[in-house]
Amino acid sequence: MTARPPAAARWSDLDRPPLSAPALRRALTGPDGPWTSLEVTASTGSTNADLVAAARAGTADPGAVLVAEEQTAGRGRLGRGWSAPARSGIFLSVLLAPEPDPARWGWLPLLAGVATAAALSRTAGVDTALKWPNDLLVTVEGEERKAGGILAERVDTADGTPAVVLGIGINVTPRDDELPVPTAASLRQAGATVTDRDPLLRAVLRSLAEWYGSWAETGGDACEAGVQAAYVAGCATLGRPVAALLPGGKELHGDATALDGDGRLVITDAEGTRHAVGAGDIVHLRARGD
């Protein structure tokens, strides 16, 4: 990882203007907006951690949105870190209190992936694929790279109501020397027609509200809400050989053949046995004979 530039330099990049919290609130909150509140913080460790703490303390209500100009200790799945230069990406978390049965909440990160991919395609002209369960992939010079990720965390609010904090991180303008690993990428590198974070952020939050609303109205039925079909259509994992690194250190190899009704990835091994994987790290493998 490259050394962080001086504070003045981090905040003076004219190619990375700041977000306007008042403008975003006017567009996205209130009686006519899909969200109840929206805050923009200059810098924080993790928007997910902050919103989880606020939910537990009773200082954040369902529908709250927290956006950071910079994350210094962002978190991904399996405890992985997520960092990017100041104002170079979209770093946000939302607090949701889903009414559907908690057994169906596993669809929320997949739903967020569908919503984010749709928003980026529509607003930035970037063809974004989904890697199960929660990675956003773009193609740079013919190579599949990760440009974003999603993290869902369950939390009990101050009054004991179960809720979910859903975090979304997207690399928008980082350059090669600003990315943490060679397999990462930014929307700019993928040929985005729009890299202004304001319209991108608005599009993501509106799309997320629409898909979440449809899912909630069907009682969390991902099939009826169209979430399952949309995820399958945009999933780069399905139809290819994969290695699944499972909890407990087990490893499963086979073909990713389906997504079941609970959002689990179905992997068919060499003997033809189908395994439904609900948690694990998925590695895309080269096709046989490639």
Q: Centre a 10 Å sphere on the Cβ of residue 21 and count the other Cβ atoms it contains.
A: 13
* Per-residue pLDDT tens digits for 171-187: 999 999 999 889 999 99
The pLDDT value recorded for residue 288 is: 55
Here the contacts of 226-230 (C-beta below 8 Å, separation 24 or greater) are 227/107, 227/110, 227/111, 227/114, 228/107, 228/259, 228/261, 228/263, 230/114, 230/118
Of all residues in the chain, the percent with pLDDT exceeding 90 is 84
Across residues 190-199, what is the average pLDDT? 98
* Per-residue pLDDT tens digits for 110-125: 999 999 999 999 999 9
Residue 31 falls inside a structural domain: yes
- Same domain as 218, residue 89: yes
Kindly give, in sequence order, each residue whose CB lies less than 8 Å from that of residue 275, ignoring residues fewer than 6 positions away: 244, 252, 254, 266, 267, 268, 269
Of all residues in the chain, the percent with pLDDT exceeding 70 is 91
Whether the pLDDT of residue 290 is over 60: the answer is: no
Residue 2 falls inside a structural domain: no
Report how many domains make up the chain. Answer: 2
- Same domain as 245, residue 184: no
* Per-residue pLDDT tens digits for 64-115: 999 999 999 755 554 555 667 999 999 999 999 999 999 999 999 999 999 9
Q: What is the CATH number of the domain that holds 263?
A: 2.30.30.100
Residue 289 falls inside a structural domain: no
Does the N-terminal peptide bond of residue 133 adopt cis geometry, omega within 30 degrees of 0?
Answer: yes
Boundaries of domain holding 272: 238-284
- Same domain as 260, residue 120: no
